Amino acid sequence: MTFQNTREFARELDSKDALKHYQEQFIFPKVNDKRVIYFTGNSLGLQPKRTKAYIDEVMNDWAELAVEGHFYAEKPWWDYQERFAEPLSKIVGALPSEVTVMNTLTVNLHLLMVSFYQPKGKRYKIICEEKAFPSDQYMFQSQVNFHGYKAEDAIVEIKRREGEHNIRLEDVLAKIEEVGDELALVLIGGVNYYTGQVFDIKTITAAGQKAGAKVGWDLAHAAGNIKLELHDWNVDFAAWCSYKYMNSGPGNASGCFVHEKHHNSDLPRFAGWWGHNKERRFKMEPTFDPVHGADGWQISNLPVLSLAPYLASVEMFAEVGMDALIAKRDHITSYLEFILHEIDKEVESTFEIITPTNPEERASQLSVFLHGEGRALFDYLMKNGVITDWREPNVIRLAPVPLYCSYEDMYDFGQILKKGILGK
Ligand SMILES: *Cc1c(COP(=O)(O)O)cnc(C)c1O
């Protein structure tokens, strides 16, 4: 399709958008009395209107039933997380028994590393990507220290080549082969938070396992954003947060995946009563007998008030379906890319999109170097109702989230950006 940088054209795309009506299902902040153009759904998704009712339901059950709500609430609290299994498994391409929700992301990755990072003899190294998300870097360092290794020795980063913004698949595979029988674990962010690069999860997982390692994924920027087939790709484990693309609210609960092949294994794990045999949980027995499946990694009784908004969101995603979401994602991202190139021709600065141009290697994010621009431009955008994410020295990250961004938003953004640059 040949795009045009006009309002009429953007409106025409909107009129053909199968997900258009979802825009009304979200609450947008306002600037100058107008709803904002929201590009930071990769950081904190907008609030769906339906979410409040899910929370109110728990509050009402608590008011009316108090402790009895555990068993007699509208959605009983004691096994509330089981409602996620069906819809969430579809979103990440898993069997229902392979997913659960609990804790928060970094906590879950630590807990999963208890099971899947088992350094022994010369096999103790972890491969991750260069400049991984800071929380992941601290996690790796503290995990290898905990096992008595030095970070410089045990953590192997896959580097970008000189002058390149993204990591090449061939370099990941070469590094896995090089570390070989010293490799205990590969754990990478499925979508890089800074550049938006999407990794080839299937190929990297197979290569890591062939080298004799376990392979896990941090899917913070992937869940609800890219097509995942965690079961078929034979991923050992994964975890993600729910507050980015999945719109479940600040700091909210995390989802976990543990492949079926590990469900009957005797992997070590940190246990608690909510992972104990469901039928016998309240018999208060002394010996831990894990629930079959990912639920066997549960520890504490459920934070139902934070699971409620996540359930609202998971049900919305299941209703939309990842295929429809991805179809719009690719189209609107390409339109945004087009708009950026058009505006770049009209102003003096040069934009450099550091996200891969290949649609297979990117999802709902474009990270752009605005050479010659600075913080003042970011402030201008914010003041004019464009919420973006600014990283020093001059990178903006733009996520045209398919559920609530419109094509006309992309056009408007281009016009505001142009004014912000020319007007200074
Ligand atoms: C957002 C993000 C996190 C956040 O972790 P929390 O434990 O939820 O604070 C971790 N890793 C990656 C890659 C992220 O993008």
Q: Compute the distance from residue 219 Cα to the ligand 1 centre, in Å.
A: 9
Domain that holds residue 128: 53-320
| Burial track 227-243 (b if 16+ CB lie within 10 A, e otherwise) | ebebbebebbbbbbbbb
The answer to whether the peptide bond before residue 393 is cis (omega within 30 degrees of 0) is yes
Separation between Cα atoms, residue 261 and residue 293, nearest integer Å: 10
Residue 86 lies in a domain: yes
Distance 107 CA to ligand 1 centre (A): 10
| Residues 181 and 93 grouped into a single domain | yes
| Beta-sheet pairing, 26-27 with 47-48 | antiparallel
Could you tell me if residue 1 is inside a domain?
no
pLDDT value of position 234: 98
- Mutational test site, ligand 1, from 109, 201, 241, 252, max ligand atoms within 8 Å of CB: 241
Q: What pLDDT does 8 receive?
A: 98
- pLDDT single digits (tens) 112-166: 999 999 999 999 999 999 999 999 999 999 999 999 999 999 999 999 999 999 9
Which of 320, 349, 375 represents a domain boundary (last residue)? 320
Q: What is the pLDDT of residue 423?
A: 84
Q: Is residue 241 a contact partner of residue 104, using CB atoms and an 8 Å limit?
A: yes
Same domain, 175 and 285: yes
Global confidence as pTM? 0.97
**Token digits of residue 375:** 């913080």
Secondary structure of 119-182 as H, E, C letters: CECCECEEEEECCCCHHHHHHHHHHHHHCCCCHHHHEEEECCCCCCCCCCHHHHHHHHHHHHHH
If you ran DSSP here, which 8-state letter would residue 32 be given?
T
Classified as helix, coil or strand, 360 is helix
Domain's final residue, options 288, 320, 352:
320
Q: Which atom of ligand 1 is nearest to the CA of 107?
A: 7
Q: What pLDDT score does 424 carry? A: 61
pLDDT below 70 — which residues of the chain? 424
For residue 56, how many other CB atoms are within 10 A of its CB? 11
Which of 149, 44, 94 has its CA nearest to residue 260?
A: 94
Q: Which residues line ligand 1 (CB under 6 A)?
A: 104-106, 133, 135-136, 189, 193, 218, 220-221, 241
Q: Could you tell me if 197 and 167 are in contact, meaning their C-beta atoms sit under 8 angstroms apart?
A: yes
Residue 175 lies in a domain: yes
Q: 256 CA distance to ligand 1 centroid (A)?
A: 13
Non-local (6+) Cβ contacts of 312 within 8 A are 48, 50, 51, 53, 54, 248
Portion of the chain with pLDDT greater than 90, in percent: 94
CB contact burial 347-384 (16+ within 10 A = b; e otherwise): bebebebbbbeeeebbbbbbbbbbeebeeebbebbeeb
Annotated binding site for pyridoxal 5'-phosphate: 105-106, 133-136, 218, 221, 243, 273, 301
Which of helix, strand or coil describes residue 252?
coil
Cβ atoms of 158 and 128 closer than 8 Å? yes
- In this structure, the residue with its CA closest to atom 15 of ligand 1 is 220
Annotation: binding site: 105-106, 133-136, 218, 221, 243, 273, 301
Closest protein CA for atom 2 of ligand 1: 220
Residue 126 CA, ligand 1 centroid: distance in Å: 18
Domain C-terminal end among 320, 344, 361: 320
Distance of CA 85 to the CA centre of its chain: 18
Task: Tell me, yes or no, whether 256 and 176 share the same domain.
Answer: yes
Shared-domain flag, residues 306 and 351? no
Neighbouring-strand partners of residue 34:
31
3-state class percentages of the chain: helix first, strand second, coil last, to nearest 5 = 45, 15, 40
Are 187 and 333 members of one domain? no
Q: Which amino acid is at 394?
A: N
* Atom number of ligand 1 nearest to Cα 108: 7
Domain CATH number, residue 29: 3.90.1150.10
Within-domain flag for 77: yes
> Number of structural domains, the chain?
2
20 and 153 together in one domain: no
Residues 97-122 pLDDT 10s: 999 999 999 999 999 999 999 999 99
d(CA 137, CA 278): 35
The single-letter DSSP state of residue 291 is P
Residue with CA at minimum distance from ligand 1 atom 14: 220
